[in-house]
Structures are given as C-alpha cells and as structure tokens.
C-alpha cells in the first residue's frame, strides 16, 4: 500500500480541515505549524503532498509564496540569508550559510553554533535580541574560526497583533576587508615605531646606532608585516640628483652598488620613480624596458617614491622571483608604509642636523672662550722673545715652542668639532664659500676686546687663521715674529696712529710688503691719517660700521693683489 499522504497544515484549528478530508480511511498524516514562517522551515527540509492554510493566515501565506518564488534569487546571492526564530534557531537559510558552516543540515540548529560560536565584536553585542525587542534592525560583526569575519544585519519580521517573533538575517563575509583594515592599522603602528625612541634612549645612542636601528625596524616590518623579502631603499641627494643606497637586502651586489640618478631614462625603474614621483608596478621584468637587473631571478618588482611634504626624498623597491607577484593592495600598503618611513628618515635627519648644530655651537663657544686668552699668550710670548733675541737662544727656542703650541690649540678645537659633527650632517644653513680666504693668516689690531673677539668669530668661519693685538707696539712684535697675509688695524690705536703704524710696517716689511687695511669711523680722521696713508700706498680702508661681506671682500682684495690701492 502506498504510504499516507503528508499534509502541512498552517493554522490553529483542525475542525474545517477534518470536515474537508472526510473519514479516517482517507485521513492523511497531518503536520501542524502555527504560522507560515514555520511552514517555510519545514518545506525546505521535508516533502509534503499538500499545504492547507487556515483563512486567518492567508495574507501571511501569500507573502510566504512570494518568498518561495524568490528562492532561486536568494540562493544565488553572495551573502547568506537566514530566517531565525526568537531562540536564534535557523528555520531556513540559503546555501551560502551551508558553505560557510561546513555542516548540513543547519535547519533547527542555533545560528551561533552553526558559525562555530563566533566572538561578537559589536557595535551591538546582542543584535538579534535588540531587533526583536525594539522592532528595528540591528547590526554587528562576528569573528569566527580561522580568523574569519562576518557582518550580520538582523531585520525583524513584523506580525499583526504583537511583537515580532522572527528575524530575517543577512550574513556577509567581510574577512578580506577586516584583514585589510588590520593590516593598515598594523602598518600605521609600525610606522610610528620606526624611529620611536625615548629621550633617555636618544642620549645613549650615537647617530650611527640610530641609523642602524631604523634600518633594522624597516627590514623587520617589511618582511613580517608586508611579507617582502627583497628590499632596496635609496635616498636622493638633492644637490647631485644621485640616489644613494641606504638599505639593500636580497639584491645582487652589482645592483646594490649601481650608480643611479633621479632621471626617467637610463636609470631603471628606481630612477624613473624618483624623477616622476609616481609608483611603478613591474609585472614581468623580462618584458619591461625600464627594469634593470636587481635581485637574482627577479620576475616582478614594485617601486614607490619616498615623499615628504610632496617632495621626493628617495625610493623604496621590492622584488619577487614570481611574475605578477604584486597586487594593487600591495601597492597601497607599501605607499602607506613608505610615508612613515619618509617621516622617520626625516626625523633622523633632523636629529643628525641638530647634533651637527649643537657640535658647531659648542665648538664656537669653546673657541670664543679661548681665542682672546690664546692671543694674550701669543702677545706675551712675543714680547718676552723680543727682549731675549741675541741674548738667550734657549729661552727664545722655548718661547717659540710656546707660540707653536698656543696656535695649535685653536686648530685642535676645529678638528675636535669636525669629529663631533656626524658625517651625514649638512651645513645648516649653507654657507657661502670663500676659497680665497682659506688658510689666510690675518692680524687684527684694535684696543676693543669685543672687536678682536668678533674678528675671530667672523673671519675664522671662512677658513682664516686670525690672531689679534691690543695696540700698535704689540702688533709690531707679532709681525716681526710671525708670517701674515694681511693686517687689519684701527686708525686710532692707544699708542700710535694708523698712518705711523703703516710707516713702521713698511719699514719692517721692506723686502716683502705686508698689505694693510685701516678701519675708521665716517668723518673721523685725526691728523688726516687716511689722506696721508693713501699717499703712502695704503691698500684699503673700511668705514665703520661695515657689513660682513664688505670685510670679506676687502680682505680678499688685498690678499689677492698685494700693494694695490682700493676702498671698500
């Protein structure tokens, strides 16, 4: 005998149903559900010969029919669609949820159990309860096994005469988006940590140690976070346009040492990126005319500019033995990471420049403090030596040794300053070069100690070797016992006029004339010294107050053309 017919009955009263079907002989197997939504759940997993709908549920059944008609559409959706009851039990779902849960069947199971009891990340930590209790939709994000993420959106199914008891839940796989967000956050955090040092750590580390730490951090995050094994970083020399190697891992030695410039032609992908400021994705090195051999057997490369305030300061290059190994996401991640690399490099450069400035300031302060005392030692030694010439050769020899040692003191200070300043530092601010003044020995004569100190500070900055004397007599002692390229003297000295000083200077230096520059205030010329000095062959005059460039130009003029008459 054939089995009983199975009828799905939607309703709460069987009286009409019993009268319609007749006696027990024909009585079918009756499965009763109280609403169309329950019926839908049974229909998806069981076979029925018919469906009977109580008139009270016709409207809901009509909606159920429409849902069944759209079943194929729901099956083709990329998102999961689930019908839940108030206990979070799955009444119906499309195949997408089956695919994600790796289990069948799921009908009748708890929704969270189906997805492996995921962690609820919010913003709503009870999205299904909220939707049923408030009658409004609610959303949340779930983290499931294998680091997968799902976004759920629960919408209540409104029923007449009371609170909703069922939910339509859409489930979207947002694993890729979440992983990208996490990677971006990790890249940002890594960028902040590249050169992040406490003040105590900064004090304990040299510039070279800071550079090594930055290189190590860049390499660590590039490998572990971005998964790039071949890395090359070059920094752009703004003056020469040359791309100087900073870091190279996995590159051929010849490629790492290759001379490259920020030019779009004949300098490979790196030169092109540095010249244009645009990233370059080389998908196949064998077909790309710009690519120059870098890593051994490299089949693809990705190169991005290091930019700071829209200015290219270098390049960041990664390579792979696989063709088309890099994606647009890799490009995006690397561009974000290199922004922080550029900032870290700039921070390091500022620290280097700060150290150079501090070293220069320290050297200048030390030099200023010892310059005049050393000049006094020179003056005293020369004065004593003048008295013993021809009488005590041993005393004269010792005094000459004192002169040499005193002069060496200033040279030692300059050498120490050069060692204090790191090699990577650039002069800040850049200084005008005056090659004609390099190594020139100058004697400045002025009663005012401030003027003598300023002469050291200003002229030695351009490579001059400066000594000073407070009066004309002491200056003559210095001239007789030292070799100078020029003398700068005030027109009014405590013991002699500028004109008389010039005559004595000519007398002493008769064979090899010594250029003289006289300094005077406008309108002040007692005894017409300037006029008489000019008639006697004065080389140059500086009228106070004068600018630094006037002083430098005048000194250059007299040391390059001894004996010529000029005026600043």
pLDDT at 525 exceeding the cut of 70: no
pLDDT at residue 347 tops 60: yes
63 CB contacts (<8 Å, ≥6 apart)? Answer: 36
Torsion sign (Cα): 462, 463, 468, 474: negative
pLDDT at 37 over 70: no
- Give the sign of the dihedral formed by CA 89, CA 95, CA 97, CA 99: positive
Q: What is the mean pLDDT of residues 484-497?
A: 89
pLDDT for res 140: 93
H-helix segments, 80-174? 95-101, 111-114, 127-134
Reported as a single tens digit per residue, the pLDDT across 370-379 is 667 777 777 7
Mean pLDDT of the chain: 77
C-beta of residue 333 within 8 angstroms of C-beta of residue 184: yes
Cα separation, 84 vs 157, in Å, equals 10
Token pair, residue 108, equals 């009748």
Q: How far apart are CA 315 and CA 432, in angstroms?
A: 31
pTM of this structure:
0.46
> What is the CB-side half-sphere exposure of residue 304 using CA atoms within 13 A?
20
* pLDDT higher than 80, residue 269: yes
Angle made by CA atoms 215, 240, 208, in degrees to the nearest 5: 25
Please give the average per-residue pLDDT across 3-21, as a whole number: 61
Q: Are 550 and 558 in contact (CB under 8 A)?
A: no
With pLDDT > 90 as the criterion, what percentage of the chain qualifies? 17
| Per-residue confidence (pLDDT) for residue 487, from 0 to 100 | 93
* Per-residue pLDDT band at 248 (split at 50, 70, 90): confident
Tens digits of per-residue pLDDT, 421-459? 444 444 444 457 788 898 899 999 999 888 888 888 788
Residue 14 has pLDDT above 60, yes or no: no
- At residue 20 the predicted structure's pLDDT band, cuts being 50, 70 and 90, is low
Element (H, E) at 91: strand 90-93
Question: pLDDT by residue (tens digit) across 544-563?
Answer: 777 888 889 999 988 886 54
- Which residue did the predictor score with more confidence, 496 or 13? 496
C-alpha neighbours within 13 Å on the C-beta side of residue 378: 29
Query: Once rounded to an integer, what is the mean pLDDT over residues 494-513?
Result: 85
Spatial CA neighbour of 143 closest among 103, 104, 102, 173: 173
Q: Tell me the two tokens of residue 260.
A: 């490259």
pLDDT at 258: 92
């Amino acid at each position: 005998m054939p089995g009983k017919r199975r009828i799905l009955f939607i309703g709460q009263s069987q009286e009409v149903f019993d009268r319609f079907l007749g006696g027990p002989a024909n009585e079918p197997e009756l499965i009763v559900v109280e609403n169309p939504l329950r019926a839908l759940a049974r229909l998806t997993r069981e076979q029925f010969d018919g469906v009977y709908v109580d008139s009270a549920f016709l409207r809901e059944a009509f909606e159920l029919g429409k849902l069944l008609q759209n079943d194929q559409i729901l099956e083709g959706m990329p998102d999961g669609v689930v019908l839940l009851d108030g206990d979070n039990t799955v009444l119906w779902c499309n195949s997408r949820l089956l695919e994600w849960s790796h289990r069948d069947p799921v009908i009748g199971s708890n929704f969270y159990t189906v997805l492996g009891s995921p962690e609820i990340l919010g913003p709503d930590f009870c999205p299904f309860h909220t939707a049923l209790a408030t009658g409004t939709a609610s959303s949340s994000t779930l983290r499931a096994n294998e680091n997968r993420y799902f976004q759920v959106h629960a919408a209540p199914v409104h029923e007449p005469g009371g609170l909703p008891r069922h939910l339509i839940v859409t489930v979207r796989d947002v694993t890729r988006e979440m992983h990208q967000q996490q990677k971006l956050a990790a890249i940002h955090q890594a960028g902040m940590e590249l050169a992040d040092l406490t003040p105590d750590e900064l004090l304990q580390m040299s510039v070279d140690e800071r550079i090594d730490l930055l290189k190590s951090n860049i390499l660590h995050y590039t490998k572990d976070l971005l998964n790039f094994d071949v890395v090359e970083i070059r920094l752009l020399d703004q003056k020469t346009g040359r791309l100087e190697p900073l870091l190279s891992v996995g590159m051929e030695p010849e490629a790492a040492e290759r001379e490259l410039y920020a030019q779009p032609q004949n300098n490979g992908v790196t030169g092109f990126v540095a010249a244009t400021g645009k990233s370059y994705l080389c998908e196949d090195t064998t077909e790309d005319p710009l690519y120059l051999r870098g890593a051994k057997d490299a089949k693809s490369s990705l190169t991005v500019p290091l930019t700071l305030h829209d200015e290219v300061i270098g390049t960041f290059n990664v390579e792979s033995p696989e063709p088309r190994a890099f994606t647009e996401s890799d490009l995006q991640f690397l561009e974000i990471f290199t922004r922080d690399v550029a900032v870290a490099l700039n921070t390091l450069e500022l620290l280097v420049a700060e150290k150079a400035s501090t070293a220069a300031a320290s050297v200048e302060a030390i030099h200023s403090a010892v310059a005049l005392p050393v000049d006094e030692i020179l003056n005293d030694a020369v004065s004593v030596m003048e008295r013993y010439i021809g009488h005590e050769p041993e005393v004269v020899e010792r005094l000459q040794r004192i002169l040499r040692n005193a002069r060496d003191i200033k040279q030692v200070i300059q050498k120490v300053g050069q060692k204090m300043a790191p090699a990577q530092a650039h002069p800040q601010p850049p200084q005008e070069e005056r090659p004609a003044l390099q190594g020139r020995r100058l004697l400045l004569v002025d009663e005012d100690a401030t003027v003598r100190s300023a002469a050291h500070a200003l002229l030695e900055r351009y490579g001059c070797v400066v000594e000073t004397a407070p009066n004309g007599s002491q200056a003559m002692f210095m001239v007789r016992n030292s070799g100078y390229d020029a003398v700068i003297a005030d027109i009014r000295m405590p013991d002699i006029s500028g004109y008389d000083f010039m005559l004595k200077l000519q007398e002493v230096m008769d064979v090899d004339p010594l250029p003289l520059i006289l300094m005077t205030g406008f309108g002040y010329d007692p005894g017409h010294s300037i006029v008489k000095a000019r008639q006697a062959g004065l080389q140059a005059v500086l009228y106070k107050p004068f600018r630094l460039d006037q002083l430098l130009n005048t000194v250059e003029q007299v040391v390059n053309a001894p004996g010529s008459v000029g005026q600043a």
